[in-house]
Structure 1
Amino acid sequence: MKWRVLSVGLPLAAVLGSAAAHEGMWLPDQLPKLAAPMKAAGLQMPVGPLSDLLAHPLGAVVSLDGCSASFVSPKGLVVTNHHCVYGSLQYNSSPQRDLLKHGFLAAELKDELPAAPGTRVLVTVAQTDVTARVLDAQLQQLDGQARTQALEKRTQQLVRECEQDSGHRCTVKAYYGGSLYRLIKQLEIRDVRVVHAPAQGVGLFGGDTDNWMWPRHTGDYSFYRAYVGPDGKPADYAANNQPYQPKHHLQMATTPLREGDFVMVAGYPGSTDRYRLPREVAYAFEEQKPRDVAQMGDILAIIKASTAGRRDAEIRMANTVAGVANYYKNTQGQLASYEGGDLLQRREASHAKLLAWVQADPARRARWGAALQEVDELLAQRQALQTDLRWQDQIEPTLLGHAAELLHLAHERTKPADQRESGYQARDEGDWREAVTSLGKRYDADTDRALVLHFLQQYLKRDKTNAALLGALGVNAQMDEAALQQALTALYAGTQLQDDAQRLAWLERPVAEFERSSDSMVRAAVALRQHRLQQQALQRDLQGRLGKRYVRVMEALRAYRAAAGEEIYPDANSSLRVAFGKVSGRKPAVDGSDWHAFTTVQGIVAKHRGEGEFDAPAAQLAAIKARNWDGYADAKLGTVPVNFLATLDTTGGNSGSPVLNAQGQLVGLLFDGTLDTVISDWDFDDKRNRSICLDARYMLWQMKVVDKAQRLLQEMGVR
């Protein structure tokens, strides 16, 4: 069963001219315009280098395709969050060698472990404005599916040209609602290895209880290393590969961090939604998110019950549990803020002003009036489809989903290279192989079947059901629970796709073999293909029609803001961004108490319970009680700081981002926000917003005093 997070629209933007002091995930080339406020906030290094994503320090910041990270040594050592390495720890774990629980430290280079399949270190090496090639005159005239297909062909051509230089991964990113496009070229390092991760009682101390909460005492850090072939070029894992030598790496801070100090964060934030249209806000918070919360709560409870007493199954599902639990609590926090606020009313009021401004002028009305009216109805159509697709995902067994994708890949292989869909081209087949391989370590049939049965029972109670999908599963609305269980048992028993070798074999098989297969999941995938193609066509048509009008909506918004003397910055889209602010507590907090800027290791001792989420390692507790600070204590605090709060504008994807001081030195890692402000993706509040960061002094202290990682400290230039 898949967990697909569906987009509810195309991103708009937040406003530069009216932005609060610490609001904004800025494009590097926008930073020169912010030189004055950054200097006033305490920046000491020149702004110029920060506008160059290839210079120091931004050149040391990398993407992990979902998290952010940075080079911290000339030998390709990469630091990021523990939860960003968690999947690789899970992949390498077993009940006999439980890296999730005990952590990992490679004694030498040869002991470093291959990361989970599909792990990449992506180093940005170039960025080019390609708007003129994407939004040419021909595309401007197209609508619906024709527009979607033309847009895809243009971006595919740009990517093909870019990737002629082997070893690189290229993507075309849309900004400002699709009115600006940039081609981003990244060195794709495929041999990534786990170097060091602290024990679970450090890296996940506080678990779900403390997630998104303050005060926090979590050592959310771990290390990868990037490797390349003997020729210095990206290569698959091989024993004779060598550590990558980055052009830039970060230096650890040489001065202590204090409350009120300037800090900035550089990373690859995923997405924000601060200027969504009123219909999108209403759908997200009054339908999508409440449904997701209910379903995620069920998912976590079912996984827990199904894997109880089976440590192997717990390990297999650990990465899934971590991801769902994180999103579950985040979404609950967003809903709580929405229900206690007036976001929708304010969004409706601001949109009404935009509409009035457009209607007040004949030229503006002619240019943007129709799009502003049409976009609302198109959003309603797509939201109805999204609701259906979300339910279908919940009742589709994981192996059926894989079979359907492998079948689609087989069909795409029959087409000329330039006509294959994005995601199914020759460049993507290595990714497919890694995805098929990694499933073997992240799948438990009993748990999957229990999840499908639960949601199938709910789905059959809906007014609208998918007859094609139900038929492929061999079930119908008249079946009682026993009959449903029997049908699913037969479906799961009739497949060999749980076997790694079988799944890999299907990667190479032609369409004809799928069509004559007796494997139950493959048969179901074949039976569903036409229905899936019909749904895809409908989605692509809506995407094209909505995208064309959303560009116009964005143009109108930008013009409206420009008329008021304001400039805008684009919403986050997983491209490199910089945010800046200061180390700051919050007084008073929502609960009436003050939030201090720093937590300390004494809080670990106070929270320690010796089990569950609050189970710190004995060696760490002993060092704290002995006050063995080894030079890492803060003079003002009199002890080692663990986490700190900062007024940094961040979101998902920023996890693992380096937090830099006024000189561009590494002082910490961004890893979380606070539960009462996770709605900032939609509605930023400068007075309340805080990001939670790991203090680098705690990381270095833990590495030296507790984990004895002196080899790595020396490599990082630390005493």
Structure 2
Amino acid sequence: MRYTILAAAVAAGTLGLGLSAPAGAVEGMWVPQQLPEISGPLKKAGLKLDAKQLADLTGDPMGAVVSLGGCTASFVSPQGLVVTNHHCAYGAIQLNSTAQKNLMRDGFNAAAPGDEVSAGPASRIYALDSIRDVTAEVNAAIAGAATPIERTLAAQAVDKRLVAQCEAEPGYSCEIYSFFGGVTYRLFRNIEIKDVRLVYAPPGSIGNYGGEVDNWMWPRHTGDFSFYRAYVGKDGKPAEYSKDNVPYQPKHWLKMADKPLGEGDFVMVAGYPGRTNRYALASEFEATQGWTYPTIAQHYKNLVALVERTAKQDPEIGVKYASTVRGWQNTLKNYDGQLEGFKRIDAGAKKHADEAAALAWLRKRGDASKPALDAHAKLEELQAKKADHRARDLVYSQLRRGGVIGAAGTVYRLAVERAKPDAEREPGYQQRDLPEIKAGLEQMDRRYDARMDRELQAYWLREYVKLPAGERIAEFDRWLGGNDEKAIKRALDKLAKTKLGSLKERVALLSADRAALDKSRDPAIELAKALLPANLRMEQEDKTALGETLVARPAYLQGVIDYRKSQKQAVYPDANSTLRITFGNVKAYTKLDGSKQAAFTKLEEVAAKATGADPFDAPDSLLEAIADKRYGGLEDKRLKTVAVNFLSDLDITGGNSGSPVLDGQGKLVGLAFDGNWESVSSNWVFDPTMTRMIAVDQRYMRWIMQEVYPAPQVLRELGVAPKKK
């Protein structure tokens, strides 16, 4: 569902407006328009381009950077070739895999464009076209509403109106994003490329070398890269997948670096970081540290074990749920790392101290600060109310999210909303959302197994019956009919008779109206119908809280902005899934145990780490090339071998995966794919001493495609084909 304005306002908040030099020239995910104002630090760090050039979002090199809707990527050829991380393409790789033809294990290499395979009906590439400030329109709508829930409805209405106007021309996708918790709103228009195809992915023993053991760790030796291609209709406009489509021809694409990268060199990342919470309330931080992260991490550990246990009996389940499991593993390890980091730097004490200092400054200003202080009190009140229902909200959302229950809920709610005029439908169920809904129901076929779905439902049902009586949902209780294992088995036995496990049935129901679905005796549809009143009731509660936040968050953050400007502190927007730049230098670091870490890892270290068993099962072709010192002309004279991964002091977060790492000339030197263990808590409290970004070196990418898992056709397209001997 698209709650862009609302979700941004409810999130812990962002900070910006004023500018000063970045702390240590590394902290901050900068809005490109800000870069001319900090051109001094950029030049000092080593940027050779004019900073104004980076502010041109549709020029070179920024126009080559695209979003995958969760990861970042970039065009690297005039024929629509796109490079991103292997783990960003993992869903597409999994979607095209079976137990017999396992591309996750074996890799994929299209010898010619005709061999490229669809990344899936839901895959998208978003190329930024324009940005427009819509603060006045949004704030006018909110100000004209009398009650909190009316504010939410007004915000939704203006969002839908502006987006509809923006998308009037086919081929574009538009979203409104909130900056500074609602101080500013901007409308982003993107070219939406709907035909995305997989071109090249190394075997998992290269692309995911080290697996979860090495995730968030340094030293690292992962070939985390893959290639897509963007396709459009013959008229050059975005179109659904068709064999007749042709490669998209971007106006700009990145060139591979022609100078070897070394320690101390300038690097920058352009990408789409998801969310940081550095200016959250101390109470919001406490809730995250004390409940949200440990609770979700434990659930994910349990779910990973559940799927792995079942997959041992049926390998096809392992293939179908591989992408889901990898997502759980990544999140739970990230949360564990953040929790460890919070303790190490005493983040709670720092958050309280920072907030107390801001509030003390605001109180000294008297009446001028009353709006900010009142807003702070309201946000504290809302946070307390949210905590009262967090266990219920987590469990219930998981029960409704996936499998046949999720599919039935989507189909039934769509039928309910379709009876309304398009502008009055709930966000996520408008005409513009139908292709995404259909693609999701189609894609479910490769990520669903009835037996596994039942076990996952049983897990969450057991969690549901543990909830206190006051947190239970009457409609769901009536469906479940008890609190013991017999009741759970009885409910799941009934649900197992659903036909929504069939792709044909799911897609057919997309066109059904509410009257037809109300007559259905499919148990999943009956459950969706029974739960609608509860869902609507809870949505009303959420909309009331959202309406309060739409006013309180920007009022409070404006006060914090004023305070930080008065202290001459660096001010920058928190990440919110929009295009940002972060910059710094290739830089080693010293771990907490005192061990000094080199800025680069090397080929020979890949071989030294190999055990022959997952996740260190480097392929023989790679080990042989290393043993024979077949460097292919890609060795670094300083390292006396080929660089694999490298560190820099850049500020990134989730969403930056796949981001191009550029040198001072704007050329591609690598791809961001991870951060070190000590950096994961920086989403909340930035630690400039320990924070490091991990990237795969473009020389290693080329070496793999040249010497190990050959792709001469890709190298030629990149303009880096090896010279003939």
TM-score class, shorter-chain normalisation, is over 0.9
Opposite residue 171 of structure 1, the aligned amino acid is E
**Larger deviation, residues 446-455 vs 71-80:** 446-455
- For residue 294 of structure 2, give the secondary structure of its aligned residue in structure 1: helix
The whole-number CA distance in structure 1 between the counterparts of 2:459 and 2:59 is 52
- SS of equivalent to 2:177: strand
Structure-to-structure mapping, 1:661-700, within 5 angstroms: 661-700=663-702
Please say if residues 142 and 151 of structure 2, whose CA atoms lie closer than 8 Å, have aligned partners that are also in contact: no
The equivalent of 1:506 in structure 2 is 509
Matches within 5 A, 1:134-533: 134-136=138-140, 139=143, 142-396=146-400, 398-464=403-469, 465-468=471-474, 470-471=476-477, 473-477=479-483, 479=484, 481=485, 483-533=486-536
**Aligned counterpart in structure 1 of residue 50 of structure 2, from 46, 50, 53:** 46
In 2, the alpha carbon distance for the partners of 1:23 and 1:409 equals 43
Post-superposition Cα deviations, 1:533-569, rounded to whole Å, max 9, x if no partner, equal 0001100110111221111101111122223344621
State the TM-score, normalizing by the size of structure 1.
0.96
Structure 1 unaligned regions, length at least 5: 1-5
What is the SS of the residue equivalent to 1:400? helix
Whether contact under 8 Å (1:65, 1:122) holds in the other structure is: yes
Equivalent-residue separation in structure 2 for 1:437 and 1:131 (angstroms): 37
* 3-state secondary structure, aligned to 1:13: coil
Check the 8 A contact 1:73/1:249 in 2, yes or no: yes
Note if 1:611 corresponds to 2:613.
yes
Aligned match of 2:642:
640
Tell me the residue number matched to 2:3: none
Give how far 1:570 is off.
Answer: 1.0
1:112 matched to 2:116? The reply is yes
Indicate the percent of aligned positions where both proteins have the same amino acid: 40
Structure 2: 5+ residue stretches without partners: 1-6
Partners of 1:32 and 1:472 in 2: how far apart? 61
Contact 1:472 1:525 in 2 (8 A): no
In 1, the alpha carbon distance for the partners of 2:552 and 2:586 equals 41
- Which residue of structure 2 lines up, in the alignment, with residue 70 of structure 1? 74
Give the Cα–Cα distance (whole angstroms) in 2 for the partners of residues 395 and 63 of structure 1: 30
Cα deviation digits, residues 586-634 of structure 1 (max 9, x gap):
0x21122111100011111111122211111111111111000110111
Answer whether contact 2:89 2:226 (CA < 8 A) is retained: yes
Amino acid at match of 2:493: A
| Residue 325 of structure 1, CA deviation | 0.5
Deviation of residue 487 (structure 1)? Answer: 1.4
Offset from partner CA, 1:30-51 (integer Å, 9 cap, x none) = 0001110111111112111111
Q: Which amino acid in 2 is paired with 1:347? A: K
- Indicate the SS of the match to 2:268: strand
Letter in 2 for 1:294: Q
Deviation, structure 1 residue 393:
2.6
The residue identity in structure 1 corresponding to 2:480 is G
CA distance in 2, matches of 1:385, 1:146: 23
Within 2, Cα distance between the matches of 1:233 and 1:446? 42
Question: Conserved in 1, the CA contact under 8 Å of 2:675 and 2:692?
Answer: yes
Q: Distance in 2 between matches of 1:118 and 1:455?
A: 27
Residue aligning to 1:651: 653
Letter in structure 2 aligned against 1:548? V
CA contact (8 A) 1:44 1:663 kept: yes
**2:65 corresponds to which of 58, 61, 65:** 61
1:138 Cα offset (Å): 5.7
1:398 offset after TM fit, Å? 2.7
Of residues 588-597 and 278-287 in structure 1, the stretch that sits farther from structure 2 once superposed is 588-597
1:452 positional shift: 2.4
Relative to structure 1, the CA distance from residue 155 to residue 676 in structure 2 (aligned partners, 3 Å threshold; closer, same or farther) is same
1:3 alignment counterpart: none
Contact residue 80 and residue 669 of structure 1 kept, 8 A: yes
2:554 to 547, 551, 555: 551
Q: CA deviation at 1:362?
A: 2.9
> Partner residue of 2:567?
564
1:310 CA displacement: 1.3
Classify the secondary structure of the residue corresponding to 2:25.
coil
Per-residue CA shift, 1:211-267, capped at 9, x if unaligned?
Answer: 111111000000000001000000011111110000000000000000010000000
8 A Cα contact 2:274 2:576, kept in partner: yes
Q: Once the two structures are superposed, what CA deviation does each residue of 1:55-78 show, in whole Å capped at 9, x if it has no partner? A: 100000000000000000000000
Q: CA deviation at 1:337?
A: 1.1
Q: Deviations over 1:424-458 (max 9, x none)?
A: 11011000000000011101222222222233223
Instruction: Letter of the 1:547 partner, please give it.
Output: L
Deviation at 1:9, TM superposition (A): 3.2
TM-fit CA distance, 1:490:
1.3
For residue 378 of structure 1, report the CA deviation from its aligned partner: 1.2
AA paired with 2:710? K
Q: Secondary structure at the match of 1:171?
A: strand
Decide which moves more: 142-151 or 500-509.
142-151
Instruction: Give the whole-Å Cα distance in 2 for the aligned partners of 1:161 and 1:598.
Output: 49
Following the alignment from structure 1 to structure 2, what is the Cα–Cα distance between the partners of residues 490 and 500? 21
Deviation at 1:485, TM superposition (A): 4.9
CA displacement 1:77-106 (0-9 Å, x = unmatched): 000000011001111111221111100000
Q: Given the alignment, which residue of 686, 706, 709 partners 1:707?
A: 709
Contact 2:25 2:45 (8 Å CA) reproduced: no
| Structure 1 residue 459: Cα displacement | 3.0
Note the C-alpha offset of 1:338: 1.4
Q: Given that residues 382 and 539 in structure 1 are in contact (C-alpha distance below 8 angstroms), is that contact kept between their aligned partners in structure 2?
A: no
Amino acid in structure 2 at the alignment position of 1:590: L
**AA partner of residue 260 (structure 2):** P
For residues 703 and 491 of structure 1, the distance between their equivalents in structure 2, rounded to whole angstroms, comes to: 52
- 1:646 is displaced (CA, Å) by 0.6
1:83 aligns with 2:87: yes
**SS of the residue aligned with 1:379?**
helix
CA distance in 2, matches of 1:644, 1:143: 53
Matched to 2:445, the amino acid is: G
Q: How many residues align?
A: 710
How many Å separate the matches in 1 of 2:710 and 2:350?
54
CA 567–619 in structure 1, closer or farther in 2 if over 3 Å, else same: closer
TM-score w.r.t. length of structure 2: 0.96
Q: Would you say the 8 A contact 2:11–2:181 is kept in 1?
A: no
Offset of 1:472 from its aligned partner?
Answer: 5.3
